[in-house]
Amino acid sequence: MQEEAELIRAAAAGDRRAFGELVALKRERVVRIAHQITGNLDDALDVAQAVFLKLWGQLGRFDPERRFDTWLYKITVNAAIDLMRSPGSRPALPLAEEAESPAPAVGPEASLDLARLQRAFWQVAQQLAPKQRAVFVLKEVEGMSTAEVARVMGVRESTVRNHLLQARRALRQGLERDFPDLVPRS
């Protein structure tokens, strides 16, 4: 973490090499969050590029007392939601289908196909509002705390809980209706 703080400080001072390392450190999660919200890797890459260019321009104004990741993901989520609302966004396509490398090894008993899970998510998440989808992605997929999601989204924690409740309900109904075999029964 100390190393990351050093990179941020150096990049804020205009060090392109340090900024390159920072991009390498954060790019995967930025792309993944953008992809889960927009549903398309090309859109996610456009969002990520815009995010890092904005970051380079505004890094000098970053307050080191604040959490860098929260700031970065806030920029990412806002850019992804803006793109989703624009008329030029592309159709959803699962990451696992776009990946030329195999999904992580999970053992011989693995039976859940990530690409299929992603397709299911995209089908049932269509009915979610962009902000509901963003809250669900940050909280459930990325594993952020409610407080952190609230900071990223710039809303109250109660609003996060409300968005999450609605998103979960819609996704649960979508799964039961369209993908009853995807979730094993205990």
Partner 1 sequence: MTPHPDPSLLDDARGNPEQRREALRHILGCAECRARLAGVDQSRIFALLALSPVPPSSLAALTARVECALDERQVRERVWAWRTWAAAAASLVLAVALGGYAWLGRGAHEPIQQAALPPPQQEQMSAAVELLEPEAADVVSFRVGEVQVVMIFDERLAL
> What residue ranges bind partner 1 (CB under 8 A)?
16, 19-20, 23-24, 27-28, 31-32, 35-36, 41, 45, 48-49, 52-53, 56, 94-96, 98-104, 106-107, 109-112, 114, 117-118, 121, 136, 140-146, 167-168, 171-172, 175-176, 182-186
Report how far apart, in Å, the C-alpha atoms of 26 and of each of 46, 108, 112 are.
15, 31, 27
Q: Give the nearest distance from C-beta 16 to partner 1 in angstroms.
A: 7
Helix (H) or strand (E) holding 151: helix 146-153
Single out the residue of 157, 51, 175 nearest to residue 117, CA to CA: 175
Q: Give the nearest distance from C-beta 172 to partner 1 in angstroms.
A: 5
Q: Are 76 and 30 in contact (CB under 8 A)?
A: yes
Q: Which of 49, 89 has the CB closer to partner 1?
A: 49
The two structure tokens encoding residue 138: 């940050």
Q: Give the nearest distance from C-beta 41 to partner 1 in angstroms.
A: 6
